[in-house]
Amino acid sequence: MRVIAHGVRGSVPAPGPDTARYGGNTSCVEVNLMDGTRLVLDAGTGLRELGKQMAPGPTKVHLLLSHTHWDHVLGLPFFIPLWRKETEIVVYPLASEAQERFRKTITLFDEIHFPVGVDDIPASFDFVKPEGSVWQIGSAQVSRIKLNHPGGSQGFRIVDADGSSVAYLTDNELALPAPGGGSDDELVRFADEVDLLIHDAQYLPADMPAKVGWGHSVVDDVLELARRARPTKLLLFHHDPDRTDTELDAIRDASRSWLKDQNVACELDIATEGVVHTLPPR
């Protein structure tokens, strides 16, 4: 399995010299399975970068959205393969009925928010409704879990046929259970011993209590989740748009020191646009 983040920022794109090293695009992660199937997790502005890298010709993309807030769908109109008739986009169920309305109508393309209407998109959309709690997509099994975020969100665990695995848990506020959201204990079980855990780590303790209830996690809580879930590698993700690369360096160093002090055998890094994570078979 190959995992590549094309967008790592949260809330709003943050271009500029202070964010260039880790990247300023919003959430989009590409997962390439062993059988060649391509999964795309979220369609933030990073989706534009992914589209620029994809060669012309028949293309099938499996799109799994955590939720439909602007920073997670804004890249869709600028995804180059969308404007090719040989492209098929398979869209999977969302976390709430309100978001399902978006899935069915693709409301970005209403000629108010974007000049092109949905009926003028050359690519085809296939809205699927898999049954059960585990879906088979290509060579992988995909499961989902409800997360704690205003309006609802969902996370995914992807296990390829060779045993390699990734858990994607963004726009999730740990340590503040919400109705319908996964508890910390459920998330520990969901992410247990994955090869790669990607988790929202937008805030620091200093940001609290002003941002309690905003639906994003404090780095300290993410580290505790990693201590309990024991992933091989942890990527801190969904960076605050006001967080500079230098500040993210400091978060990385402090987080690595904490894991070492706790005797947690987990590699840690800051999610960075364009970096390829190759997960070996188990």
Say what the pTM is.
0.95
Q: Determine how β-strand 267-270 pairs with β-strand 233-237.
A: parallel
Q: pLDDT tens-digit profile of 68-100?
A: 999 999 999 999 999 999 999 999 988 766 556
pLDDT of 98 reads 59
Q: Is the dihedral of CA 55, 42, 227, 242 positive or negative?
A: positive
Nearest-angstrom CA–CA distance, 39 and 149: 23
Nearest-angstrom CA–CA distance, 167 and 59: 25
Rg of the chain's alpha carbons, rounded to an integer? 18
Nearest-angstrom CA–CA distance, 52 and 275: 16
Which residue is associated with the tokens 């391509």? 38
The partner residues of 239 in beta bridges, in order of sequence, read 9
Q: pLDDT tens-digit profile of 181-214?
A: 678 899 999 999 999 999 999 999 999 999 999 9
Instruction: Give yes or no for a contact between 154 and 115, defined as CB atoms under 8 angstroms apart.
Output: no
Nearest-angstrom CA–CA distance, 189 and 183: 10
Mean pLDDT on 18-32: 98
The partner residues of 32 in beta bridges, in order of sequence, read 2, 38
Instruction: Give yes or no for a contact between 224 and 205, defined as CB atoms under 8 angstroms apart.
Output: no
Instruction: Give yes or no for a contact between 18 and 245, defined as CB atoms under 8 angstroms apart.
Output: yes
Q: Side-chain half-sphere of 43: how many Cα atoms within 13 Å? A: 27
Which residue is associated with the tokens 């199937």? 37
Write down all domains in the chain, each with its CATH number in brackets: 2-278 (3.60.15.10)
